[in-house]
Amino acid sequence: MSGKYLVTGGAGYVGSVVAQHLLEAGHEVVVLDNLSTGFREGVPTGASFIEGDIRDAAKWLDPSFDAVLHFAAFSQVGESVVKPEKYWDNNVGGTMALLDAMRSAGVRKLVFSSTAATYGEPEQTPIVESAPTKPTNPYGASKLAVDHMITGEAAAHGLGAVSLRYFNVAGAYGSCGERHDPESHLIPLVLQVAQGRREAISVFGDDYPTPDGTCIRDYIHVADLAEAHLLALAAATPGEHLICNLGNGNGFSVREVIETVRQVTGHPIPEVVAPRRGGDPAVLVASAATARERLGWNPSRADLAGIVADAWEFAQDIAAQNSAREQ
């Protein structure tokens, strides 16, 4: 059965890929995005677009919507350490307004982009959802606060909600991919070195307690992630707040990622060791057993070289479009 969905942050990386998947499944999609970090041209063809802020969601939400998929947020770990107020304001304040608007409009289903950053430095790996949540940066703290808000909203007001705690999202899907400006994520930055747009990649710390001294992360293909959102819509149950980790359960160090980019692109990729970045846990690897059991999620694109190859193809397409525009 087709539905009508509000996708906040649908001009951004993950939101645009999920919007594209919803359209391909035959649903009606309305994107609400203030373009603070997203791009108008990132909104998939076929989706309606509202340029606006989630704080004003009440202007556009009405009972015709079946659910909200909520991606809109600021999400840079490093920036959140130096500008925490920006994260509390947008991520927490914005979501509070969105929940109010949903309640008033009688829209009672939500899928929320939570994050591995809610856990902080894990005591056990892989991380399960019942692990302690002690964020090491304001970004993770703001997302954890929203998770708590959603739990209360489900218990008190019957919201059916699923929080998906993404680990490190990467790769691309067709014409939708990662194009943050300025870029802060590892894989697209290393690809910029391969494109000759940067001289070298900085490795933020090589003295972590890991085999090669660099941080370990669990990289998940954005298309696998998108599929989990469609499953979450089906699984959302009134009065329940389900929390699921999304990752592949495989950890790759910063140096392993750089080496994979060398293999995929054939570029030597010079690296320089730089100081640690504030707020970075050493190792973040997911147990996604809950998503498999409760959502029936079955990711099929776990291979890191394949994830990097898709991101590389997208980065090259964007570079070609930009140079055609300049000519």
Ligand X SMILES: O=c1ccn([C@@H]2O[C@H](COP(=O)(O)OP(=O)(O)O[C@H]3O[C@H](CO)[C@H](O)[C@H](O)[C@H]3O)[C@@H](O)[C@H]2O)c(=O)[nH]1
Distances 262 to 17, 175, 232, 269, 304 between C-alpha atoms, Å: 26, 23, 36, 6, 12
What is the phi/psi pair of residue 124, to 5°? Answer: -140, 145
* 315 is an interface residue for ligand X by CB under 6 A: no
Q: Which residues pair with 187 in a beta bridge?
A: none
Active-site residues, by number, are 139
Among 38, 120, 247, 251, binds ligand NAD (CB under 6 A): 38
* 263 is an interface residue for ligand NAD by CB under 6 A: no
CB closer to ligand NAD out of 166 and 208: 166
d(CA 76, CA 72): 13
Record the tokens describing residue 59, joined without a space. Answer: 């202007």
d(CA 117, CA 46): 33
Binding mask 63-102 for ligand NAD (x = CB under 6 A): --------xxx-x--------------x---x--------
Q: What letters, b where the CB count within 10 A reaches 16 and e where it falls short, cover 114-145?
A: bbbbbbbebeebbbebebebebbbbbbbbbbb
Of 14-22, 51-59, 195-203, 302-310, the window that binds ligand X (rule: CB under 6 A) is 195-203
* 44 is an interface residue for ligand NAD by CB under 6 A: no
Binding mask 10-29 for ligand NAD (x = CB under 6 A): -xxxxx--------------
Write the single-letter amino acid at 92.
V
Binding mask 65-84 for ligand X (x = CB under 6 A): ----------x-x-------
Place of tokens 């929320």: 112
Of 80-88, 146-154, 165-173, 196-204, the window that binds ligand NAD (rule: CB under 6 A) is 165-173
* Residues forming the site for ligand X (CB under 6 A): 75, 77, 115-117, 166-168, 184-186, 189, 201-204, 215, 217, 254, 277, 280, 284
